[in-house]
Amino acid sequence: MHDPALDTLMLALELEAVAPGEDHTVAFFRARADRALAQMNCKSLICEQSFAPERDRLVAMGYTVDAEIPVRETFDRVLVMPTRQRQETRAELARAVLATREGGIVVACAANSEGAKTVEADLKALLGPVDTLIKNKCRAIWAPKLADSINQDLLTAWAALDEKREVLDGAFVSRPGVFAWDRVDPASALLIEHMPNTLAGRGADLGCGFGVLSRAALEKAPKIASLDLYEAERRALDLAEENLASWKGKKPLVGIWSDVTKGVDGPYDFIIMNPPFHQSGKADRTDVGQGFIRAASSGLRGGGQLFLVANRHLPYEQTLRETFKVVEMLADEGGYKVIRAIKATGKITGQVLSKTAGK
């Protein structure tokens, strides 16, 4: 898939002032997979990526990947692909500066539509004068790390911006960059409202975030025997496990860092989920939610139930009818829909039990 921001970053790395030397070490924060990375003439390249689908792509191409690289001021070049979350991005830029040796170079790149000018201003605020390359409707920005130019107070403040903290009146811990990091999003709230207290047996939460749905299910349904927490973003999964720590002594809970669309480890008696429909950029990715639905169907036992919430406009009904025997609309409110689907014990019939299910 074409990645203009990554292409622009690679172009910047071809410039004499930016290109790493053959004895240089390079770290790549929020790394994205590209064959061109292998062409860098450097001593070593280590990628930091906590998002499982991108991690899998990098590993498949043979790159060394860590969920989090220790910050030790040792790298000659640190590359950053910022996220859309401002606090997380500022913290990432600060970590990049801290990970770079004196005289090394920090290079960031973002699409213009994803806040490239803001990233430029932020890097300039940290390191002083910057250089830029504008191409492909993106902007690569770089600056050397020089002790006399660093804004140390800002560096310290920004490095702490995405540290975990209490949210929702102390009921959970979370951190910026995680989906709906400081609130219960309205879709999850609607699913919680319509989640039955009869859930029982072995269950899974697909795309668990920092654990809001999982905790609600455990509190509502005492007959749940065990719950597996699937999450692509390692930062979120670590939070979910911490937020559910008090339940671990009562029933088995397992955190699984994975790309759900590649399948889950069933069979499950029930699955709950609020699947993502963005991965990068602003466009809807309905294929991600559809992949979640197929994974849920494959992971449920015959007669097992799926409870799904999604934005009303997302076209999931056809995929549900193809993979489940019964599809029932439980709620259609405030721009969101809650759907219950039951897996067939034999041949799927595509039965729909709701006058609103076809909307």
pLDDT at 277: 76
Q: List the pLDDT tens digit at each of the 359 positions of the chain.
A: 679 999 999 999 999 999 999 999 999 999 999 888 877 888 999 999 999 999 999 999 999 999 999 888 899 999 999 999 999 999 999 999 999 999 999 999 999 999 999 999 999 999 999 999 999 999 999 999 999 999 999 999 999 999 999 999 999 999 999 999 999 999 999 999 999 999 999 999 999 999 999 999 999 999 999 999 999 999 999 999 999 999 988 999 999 999 999 999 999 999 999 999 755 555 567 899 999 999 999 999 999 999 999 999 999 999 999 999 999 999 999 999 999 999 998 644 334 444 333 33
> Are 217 and 140 found together in one domain?
no
> Are 155 and 193 found together in one domain?
no
> Are 25 and 118 found together in one domain?
yes
pLDDT at 353: 42
> Are 180 and 309 found together in one domain?
yes
The answer as to whether 176 is a domain residue is yes
Query: What CATH number did the domain enclosing 68 receive?
Result: 3.40.50.150
> Are 80 and 177 found together in one domain?
no
The answer as to whether 230 is a domain residue is yes
> Are 295 and 208 found together in one domain?
yes
The answer as to whether 358 is a domain residue is no
pTM (predicted TM-score): 0.92
Q: Where are the beta strands (DSSP E) in the chain?
A: 25-29, 44-48, 64-66, 75-80, 100-111, 131-135, 138-144, 165-167, 172-174, 201-206, 224-231, 253-257, 268-273, 300-311, 326-333, 336-342, 351-352
The answer as to whether 359 is a domain residue is no
* Parent domain of 137: 4-159
> Are 153 and 175 found together in one domain?
no
The answer as to whether 58 is a domain residue is yes
> Are 204 and 310 found together in one domain?
yes
Residue 76 CB contacts under 8 Å (≥ 6 apart), including other chains: 20, 21, 24, 25, 26, 42, 100, 101, 104, 105
Closest by CA to 14, choosing from 43, 44, 32, 39, is 39
> Are 215 and 324 found together in one domain?
yes
> Are 322 and 218 found together in one domain?
yes
> Are 332 and 191 found together in one domain?
yes
The answer as to whether 246 is a domain residue is yes
Total structural domains within the chain: 2
The answer as to whether 333 is a domain residue is yes
> Are 189 and 243 found together in one domain?
yes
The answer as to whether 50 is a domain residue is yes
